[in-house]
Structure 1
Amino acid sequence: MRSVRSISFITAVAVFVLTVGSSTVTEDNALSAYDVLKQYNFPVGILPKGVIGYEINRNSGKFKVYLKETCSFSIEGYDLKYKSTITGTIIQGRIYDLKGISVNVVIFWWNIQEVRRDGDKLQLSVGIASASFSVDEFNESPQCGCGFDCLNGGERKKTTAKKLNRLISLFLD
């Protein structure tokens, strides 16, 4: 009789440890990665369409987001690249230790390391420099391969001198 109680107790403890230790809480399984972004006060457009899964530890904020494959596109002169796995830490209004997203500025690829929300602005940091954008610019998720220009075959539009100057000044000021 004693061994049955011990086994039941051990089983109960194991189930408890697995439930509490699991980072992907049952409620999260019903939410998309985009829904989780909204919970932390971020717009869905910081992730492209096509997220196939994610993991998040609600205690530490550490997360992993999975795309089917590496994803690249251009938006208004910015070339962006998302690896198939994106990692970082998320708290209200801040994503940091970000890995897996890079932006091409002039001729160099820079890793976006942090995203901060400050009111109606998002600040994206590549470590030594940062740029601010309106949150409204991220209300819609771009599509891999074509960004927001999917109806025109995803061909990149030529960057105007004005856009290039804006980009350079944003990251170098």
Structure 2
Amino acid sequence: MLVCVNVSAQYDPNKASAYEALQRYEFPVGLLPEGVSGYSLNESSGEFWAHLNRSCSFTLENSYELRYEPEIKGLLSKGRLEKLSGVSVKVVLVWLNIVQVKRNRQSLHFSVGFKSADFPVENFEECPRCGCGFDCSSSSNYI
């Protein structure tokens, strides 16, 4: 399994990474792209914030284009990420915000409000990389 790279210059080896925090809430690490440079999680309220150094986009399964803004926010609880902002998907010609992700056993349910799609959890066991997603050659130079 790919280890997701946390590029924070202030990385504290005693603090869990954003990816490890997701795993504690029953989500796979691949919900976030490689290269998170900072994050915070308020365990009592569930407020989650992750920061990337730049916007990030890639194509998923040759049909969905995903875009991550430099700031990603949401409310995190076991198997549920709600009030999500900073992640969008291109459907036909329109960008729609992904507002919720729920885990249902071995699938992830992504919702843009009025429409949703399910994907196997195993599709997100590795972190996608900006520019190439999950289909990066080992010689790629993406962060």
Identity %: 48
Q: What CA RMSD, in Å, does the superposition of the two structures yield over aligned residues?
A: 1.9
Which runs of structure 2 are paired with 1:103-118 in the superposition (5 Å)?
A: 103-118=89-104
Name the residue aligned to 1:44: 29
SS at 1:90 equivalent: strand
Name the residue aligned to 1:143: 129
SS at 2:20 equivalent: helix
Based on CA coordinates, which of the two structures has the bigger radius of gyration? 1
Q: When the two structures are superposed, what TM-score results if normalisation uses the length of structure 1?
A: 0.70
CA displacement, residues 116-163 of structure 1 (integer Å, 9 cap, x when unaligned): 001111000000011111111111111001112322869xxxxxxxxx
Structure with the higher fraction of residues in helix conformation: 1
Distance 1:53 1:113, change over 3 A: same
Select which of 63, 71, 92 maps to 2:56: 71
Select which of 102, 106, 120 maps to 1:134: 120
Select which of 92, 99, 109 maps to 2:78: 92
Please list every run of at least 4 consecutive aligned residues from structure 1 whose deviation after the TM superposition is greater than 3 angstroms. Answer: none
Deviation at 1:28, TM superposition (A): 9.7
Larger relative contact order (CA 8 Å, sep ≥ 6): 2
Name the residue aligned to 2:46: 61
Q: Which segments of 5 or more consecutive residues in structure 2 lack a partner in the other structure?
A: 1-11
> Does residue 16 of structure 2 align to residue 31 of structure 1?
yes
Give the aligned length. 128
Q: When the two structures are superposed, what TM-score results if normalisation uses the length of structure 2?
A: 0.84
